[in-house]
Structure 1
Amino acid sequence: MLHSTSLLHHTHRFLFSFRSKPSLLDNPHSHSQLQSQQQPQPLSFANSLSLPSSSSCCRVARISTEALELSHPSPSFNFRREIARLTALRDKLSRCNNLNDKLRVIDADDRVKRFFRSSSRNAGLARVLLDSKSLFLIMCLVASGQEHVLCLSETVPELDSPAMASGSVKSAFYALAKMIENMDSSNSGVGFGKLDMGMSLEDHEILDLNNLLETLAQIESFYDCIGGVIGYQITVLELIAQQLVDRKNTNWSQHMGDVKESQNLGVDAPTGLDLSENTEYASQAALWGIEGLPDLGEIYPLGGSADRLDLVDSNTGECLPAAMLPFCGRTLLEGLIRDLQAREFLYFKLYGKQCITPVAIMTSSAKNNHKHITSLCERLSWFGRGRSTFQLFEQPLVPVVGAEDGQWLVTKPFSPLSKPGGHGVIWKLAHDKGIFKWFFHQGRRGATVRQVSNVVAATDVTLLALAGIGLRQGKKLGFASCERISGATEGINVLMEKRSPDGNWEYGVSCIEYTEFDKFGITDGSLVPKCLQAEFPANTNILYVDLPSAELVGSSRNVNSIPGMVLNTRKTIVYVDQFGRHCSVSGGRLECTMQNIADSYFNSYSSRCYNSVEDKLDTFIVYNERKRVTSSAKKKRRHGHKSLRQTPDGALLDILRNAHDLLSPCDIKLPEIEADENYIDSGPPFLILLHPALGPLWEVTRQKFYGGSISVGSELQIEVAEFFWSNVQLNGSLVIIAENVMGSMKIDENSESILHHGQRCGRCKLQNVKVLNEGVDWSYDGNVYWKHDVKRSEVLKIVLHGNAEFEATDVVLQGNHVFEVPNGYKLKIIPGSQGLAIQLNPIEQGMMDSGSWHWDYNIEGSHIKLELVEQ
């Protein structure tokens, strides 16, 4: 946040006058009428800027009770004229060389002049002191037609009126004026710069003003490639107008007289590699991904507000971001890191070297997103990876606008309703914040990108094969895709063909967001031979990116650096306005789409390509079964709703389906999982949660399991990587927890706890074992299965401390048991004369680090083979 003293200074007098005369720009008449109706104007504001004041405070006169002028567009709001006016202003500002020139240009804008003008009809004025930069930002706000953000009352009461005293009028300028007047009358001599630091206002008006200035500064800076605050509003108006025209099935470019750089000629379904069918190539590609792990980074766009999850801290009542959702016993962010560490553990087992992948996380201030994520990482000691392997960078918030006229929605004075501007800001933001340079410094040339709500993205070969192909073939961008469910709120991947102005043909794999289907005329498949919603693959936001290519886009300083700008006004915005009224309006905010960086990677050809063009493109796509690619916990299941799609409940079912597919080929009998609707009013048929380090590739995991059964209603949780299951019959609950799943923690030279792979791991062997107990109490109403928060009647629980080992052979373990094995010991259960013989012996000193047995991983062709090695 910008420091308050950097925003509020004594350099210029900020004059505010309020007229009762209606806004002429709101009247859809000619500009000549506007000129004829204007009264003679006082000296231009910019030209009358005073030199820095030497006085320590300012005097504020009483404010008149004349009606306050606001600029809400009329029903006949002329989008074309307003866009033309703002475009002309943006172009003039772009030609300015310094801030003073910009101030003079924007002060000449009719809307700005009218807002700052004083006349005999308005004897009162409030004078607030701002530095030149802050003054320019406020002027941009006014020029954009959003002065209502500053002044929200329809009438202005006297400073001593009961309305002002009661706080019913929430105008921060007026409260500020009253306070400064009182200060001045008492000759306190306290300056405005100290006001924010030393005095507490009931409504925090100065803090709100500072926050507004910070928001405007972020928009002006980040969206500089489209014209800052002014350009932001132009884009909003263009998109709203485009939607209005699209509804009439009119070509937007013709309506606006806009000339496009290239013409969209057609879209087709991309082909790409199907990992579920070409399993041999999929295995090879996954090995490329493991081999290339030292060249890869990881990127998590976690800045979204995740309103549909309705996630609230049960202790504080505070709204929480999606990353904090407690899913299957841990937060979603912890799940991402577990998946990554599992790939790193596989690399260690294959190559004998430690590899720690740098992780860049894009956060935001929405719902204290940045604070919560930072606190979680600190609380978990940065997951044993070291603070230096993480970079957190915060995306700016943008104002939410009404769908009718593009007016910013306001919750209180100086406080526009704001939300994150979409994951597409990640490329420019990564450049601005030095994230690309940070990756390059660590020798990384590619990165995998996944969203926090997708809990299955790292299943089996999907993510590794995607990265492996991208690295091996030198691609710039890759998509992991799958079958699309009709009606789902997700975009589609397409092979797009364009004709450029120079006559060349351009091709690339890209995507179309579901909010843009109307624009392309594809909602019902009317313009193409297929219905795209049914036949084209889903865009899952699982990406491989070539980092140097992504930096070129992010640093381009043009509109390409903010790809896929959209304004989704299909959602209803619910908020409380400045008068305490609960409002529900159609609206949205300017968003950009992360995956549309693909539009910068089209390949150009002199003649049209009809066949096999995809193999030559810089963009590519791979497919897998949907449950192995995407299943999102992104919205709360509503009571009485019959669909589990995109809810945590539905995501858990997909995890269990994957567990079924993983273990069934191991000659383990499991119950089938039926359609989601069969579990609306009941729990799942079983619970199986396996640590990803058991694989994460399924061909690795399957070599650790053979034979047995898992009955209906059983629970299996395995939190150990060095594990062996042979002919185990489970009827009840079996929970195995190792402190050291993949290795042990050691303190490094920076006093940080770092996970060292393969050293002093916990180990567990189960051979010819029957586990019989009452297990989960499925009748308990308080069970929340997707949280893995369940009540158990009985359980067999094995806890391995440090490098502890557990072995059970040829036994029946019946009833409720908890076996805790201390660090440095091996607990063995075998048949005995009294039923069970339990042996607890210390591990031999020479085996403390390596254990008494381990799995040896070897690459044979395009596959990984495991060998159980006894010490």
Structure 2
Amino acid sequence: MVAAGQDHVFDMGFGFEDREMSSVKTALYSLAKIIEKLDFSNGGNGNGGNGGRENQNGGVLVGEDTQQDFNNLLKVLGEVEDFYDCIGGIIGYQIMVLELLAQSSFETQSINNSNHLHESMECEFLEIHPPIGCDLSSNTEYASQAALWGIEGLPDLGEIYPLGGSADRLGLVDSETGECLPAAMLPYCGRTLLEGLVRDLQAREFLYFKLYGKQCITPVAIMTSSAKNNHEHITSLCEKLRWFGRGRSSFRLFEQPLVPAVSAEDGQWLVRKPFVPVCKPGGHGVIWKLAYDKGVFQWLYDHGRKGATVRQVSNVVAATDVTLLALAGIGLHHGKKLGFASCKRNMGATEGINVLIEKNLDGEWAYGLSCIEYTEFDKFGITSRHPSPNSLQAEFPANTNILYVDLPSVELVASSRSERSLPGMVLNTKKSIVYTDYFGNQHSVPGGRLECTMQNIADNFLNTYPSRCFKGVEDNLDTFIVYNERRRVTSSAKKKRKPSDTSLHQILNCLSGKNRFYMQTPDGSLLDIMRNAYDLLSRCDIDLPKVQSNDKYVDSGPPFLIFLHPALGPVWEVTRQKFSGGSISKGSELQVEVAEFLWRNVQLDGSMIIVAENIIGSIRIDDKGEPILQHGHRCGRCKLCNVTVLNDGIDWTSGDNVYWKHDVCRSEALKVILHGNAEFEAYNVIIQGNHVFEVPDGYKMKITSGDSGLVVQMDLIPQNLMDNGSWFWKYDTNGSHILLELVEL
């Protein structure tokens, strides 16, 4: 570290002076002075406190706290030295920082109207184009086929979650302890974001079970970090939820190292106090090398996996309808090395773009799909400030960080022990580093840290040709891209909406557009979930209000709240066969937490909440003593036919409502609670006012109309129907489509 010019991290009044000598000698003199002056001999007596006192020989006595800081520093430095060994350890890290900092100080390079970039130093010709790929929203037949490939291939797939980021923009704090929390712990729509990821995965596994009659438990690799006690929080949540009924062995958590943050002015490490540099996670791109170093690839192979899907925790819509399944299906079926799920880019959003790269080097032409991060736009002559709809930026689709990867191909790069294993290294100094020093003073300093971008692993999968290719080159590449409607691909809850950003006037006068203050916030992503609910149910002959533009809801909640468990599908073709007819009035609330569900001609005006304990199955203890969710076993069930629900529902005037948390005040509601394998049925009835129907395990409750009001009938489920229920949905395939049949027993 001293050799890297960062001896100020040790500064406890040692008086480092400038010397007119070589940098190597300067480093050695500085290191010698540190060794000579530091005195840990009395560090254990507790008198040293956080600082240092001079001993009788002029050295600095180090107290317990400072010694702990020193030990922590050694740990951080050791991790940086080991992990970045492929670029020269700590010194290589700092050299790369200084090189990138020097590059950013040059004037912005420009490219001409045909998107050319000439890099004369490498004698390379580079051109970027908008990539061509399948549009799942318009080519619905192919989308269905690709999704079916994804379902069939589920036993060959793993799941990878990069959860190590610090998520500073979210500003998430534990309300009881005041502790800063990572994004994975954000309470969103009634559960943490991490729980939402696992629910989406379990829905795909349940669909596989219903189609093929076999249970598939996907191994999940999660990259964590020590930022905001990320690793401890995620581990604790998984343990609390008993590893989601999947078994501890189906998860692999691996912790990414923290890296020093540097000043944008001179590249010097920022320091809170002696021995305590400001550190941040090194970006999600470290995931590939880290996965190799920690044996994660081998762990996935041991589970029989060939490929994996990758998604970030803050994107709450990535698994909507066919998007994720089709991406994985195409990747597996066609033997691709990497795939992107993309969509139209929102102008002004802090997101990169996907591009088709074309370059010529030494007479060969290379092509492949890749990504340019928004922090790198200037290098390619792409404006990042208030772009117009006709700007160069608008031509390219959004990079969403939803990926399919072929595991052996990615591992080959990750194990290369070269710079290739750290893809897309950038130094983003456009944001300030905020930290608190030893004296409690807060600083906001322009700076950054060396980051890698996981999607730029694609730069290693270019295909080469002896001559230049023109149209249609994408079809034969090892990389590919699929498109869908934006709200079915990406909508992020990654930054907090500021309290001051509440007035309609502010939004309408924002330079970046009237929806800017909803961009990438929990509030905005909730509206996209509601839009998806409208798109789904309106095609089921259900009348419900359309969701307008975001600015319509600045001072009010959304037009309705609809939360459907993903296992009702997860592909909409399946869900739509469970819903038919009726209406959902403005201001209504519908929550369905049960997979075996039937809605036929239901009129909802108010709140209806249906919750099953056993949504997709029940827990059994395996031979290792672990609780494992058994798909299809003793599920809760609900049928609603010709039912009208009328109640006062949500109190939309309450100032305590937080809609994106699904934390609302209700005046009245219809609640159906299904314990164990309980069943609930309602036929030809009007249910008015506040009601709670709680059905015990092993029973069926039936609601009908009588002369004096509701007739409630409770019957014990016959013993021979206890495991599989009195009815179920039978799934089958017809070509590329999934058909459902209601089977009564």
TM-score after normalising by structure 1: 0.79
Code of the residue aligned with 2:586 in structure 1: it is V
TM alignment of 1:71-220, pairs within 5 A: 109-116=24-31, 125-128=36-39, 171-172=51-52, 174=53, 201=63, 204-220=65-81
Secondary structure in 1 aligned to 2:701? strand
Answering whether residue 688 of structure 2 is matched by residue 773 of structure 1, we say no
- What is the percent sequence identity of the aligned residues? 68
1:477 is aligned to 338
2:4 is aligned to none
Code of the residue aligned with 1:300 in structure 2: it is Y
On the 8 A contact 2:14/2:37 being kept in 1, the answer is: no
1:821 is aligned to 695
On the 8 A contact 1:16/1:125 being kept in 2, the answer is: no
Of residues 713, 720, 723, the one that matches 1:849 is 723
Answering whether residue 706 of structure 2 is matched by residue 812 of structure 1, we say no
TM alignment of 1:554-573, pairs within 5 A: 554-573=414-433
Higher relative CO (Cα under 8 Å, sequence separation at least 6) belongs to 2
On the 8 A contact 1:304/1:321 being kept in 2, the answer is: yes
Answering whether residue 710 of structure 2 is matched by residue 836 of structure 1, we say yes
Compute the displacement of 1:581 (Å).
Answer: 2.9
Code of the residue aligned with 2:602 in structure 1: it is V
Of residues 460, 465, 489, the one that matches 1:605 is 465
Answering whether residue 661 of structure 2 is matched by residue 782 of structure 1, we say no
Q: Distance in 1 between matches of 2:341 and 2:432?
A: 31
Q: Assess, with a 3 A threshold, how the Cα gap between structure 1 residues 837 and 262 changes in structure 2: closer, same or farther.
A: farther
Secondary structure in 2 aligned to 1:666? coil
TM alignment of 1:36-435, pairs within 5 A: 109-116=24-31, 125-128=36-39, 171-172=51-52, 174=53, 201=63, 204-247=65-108, 263-435=124-296
Compute the displacement of 1:111 (Å).
Answer: 2.1
On the 8 A contact 1:16/1:116 being kept in 2, the answer is: no
Compute the displacement of 1:833 (Å).
Answer: 2.5
On the 8 A contact 1:363/1:394 being kept in 2, the answer is: yes
Compute the displacement of 1:129 (Å).
Answer: 7.8
Q: Distance in 2 between matches of 1:525 and 1:683?
A: 31
Code of the residue aligned with 2:265 in structure 1: it is E
TM alignment of 1:16-55, pairs within 5 A: 22-24=17-19, 34-35=20-21
TM-score after normalising by structure 2: 0.92
Code of the residue aligned with 1:522 in structure 2: it is I
Q: Assess, with a 3 A threshold, how the Cα gap between structure 1 residues 438 and 125 changes in structure 2: closer, same or farther.
A: closer
1:667 is aligned to 541
Q: Distance in 2 between matches of 1:205 and 1:341?
A: 47
Of residues 484, 491, 499, the one that matches 1:639 is 499
Q: Assess, with a 3 A threshold, how the Cα gap between structure 1 residues 609 and 529 changes in structure 2: closer, same or farther.
A: farther
Q: Assess, with a 3 A threshold, how the Cα gap between structure 1 residues 838 and 702 changes in structure 2: closer, same or farther.
A: same
1:771-827 Cα shifts (integer Å, max 9, x gaps): 000000001100000000001000000000000000000000000000000000000
On the 8 A contact 2:129/2:357 being kept in 1, the answer is: yes
Question: 4+ residue stretches of structure 1 with deviation over 6 A?
Answer: 15-19, 164-167, 175-182, 248-251, 524-530
On the 8 A contact 2:370/2:455 being kept in 1, the answer is: yes
> Number of aligned pairs?
713
Structure 2 stretches lacking a partner, 5+ long: 1-9, 113-118, 502-506, 508-516
1:62-115 Cα shifts (integer Å, max 9, x gaps): xxxxxxxxxxxxxxxxxxxxxxx7xxxxxxxxxxxxxxxxxxxxxxx1221231
Cα-Cα RMSD: 2.7
1:546 is aligned to 406
Compute the displacement of 1:751 (Å).
Answer: 1.0
1:627 is aligned to 487
Q: Assess, with a 3 A threshold, how the Cα gap between structure 1 residues 526 and 607 changes in structure 2: closer, same or farther.
A: farther
Larger radius of gyration: 1
TM alignment of 1:429-444, pairs within 5 A: 429-444=290-305
Compute the displacement of 1:487 (Å).
Answer: 1.2
Q: Assess, with a 3 A threshold, how the Cα gap between structure 1 residues 207 and 250 changes in structure 2: closer, same or farther.
A: farther
Q: Assess, with a 3 A threshold, how the Cα gap between structure 1 residues 217 and 816 changes in structure 2: closer, same or farther.
A: same
On the 8 A contact 1:16/1:127 being kept in 2, the answer is: no
Q: Assess, with a 3 A threshold, how the Cα gap between structure 1 residues 116 and 835 changes in structure 2: closer, same or farther.
A: closer
Q: Distance in 1 between matches of 2:193 and 2:366?
A: 39
Secondary structure in 1 aligned to 2:327? helix
On the 8 A contact 2:342/2:481 being kept in 1, the answer is: yes
1:581 is aligned to 441
Q: Distance in 2 between matches of 1:578 and 1:300?
A: 35
Q: Distance in 1 between matches of 2:456 and 2:559?
A: 40
Code of the residue aligned with 2:464 in structure 1: it is S
Q: Distance in 1 between matches of 2:621 and 2:631?
A: 14
Q: Distance in 2 between matches of 1:639 and 1:17?
A: 42
Answering whether residue 588 of structure 2 is matched by residue 714 of structure 1, we say yes
Secondary structure in 1 aligned to 2:313? coil
Compute the displacement of 1:640 (Å).
Answer: 2.1
Q: Distance in 1 between matches of 2:230 and 2:688?
A: 46
On the 8 A contact 1:17/1:116 being kept in 2, the answer is: no
Compute the displacement of 1:499 (Å).
Answer: 1.3
On the 8 A contact 2:591/2:608 being kept in 1, the answer is: yes
Bigger share in strand: 2
Answering whether residue 634 of structure 2 is matched by residue 723 of structure 1, we say no
Q: Distance in 2 between matches of 1:515 and 1:609?
A: 29
Q: Distance in 2 between matches of 1:273 and 1:477?
A: 15
Structure 1 stretches lacking a partner, 5+ long: 1-14, 25-33, 39-84, 86-108, 131-158, 183-194, 196-200, 252-257
Q: Distance in 2 between matches of 1:864 and 1:704?
A: 12
Q: Assess, with a 3 A threshold, how the Cα gap between structure 1 residues 177 and 350 changes in structure 2: closer, same or farther.
A: farther
Code of the residue aligned with 1:557 in structure 2: it is R
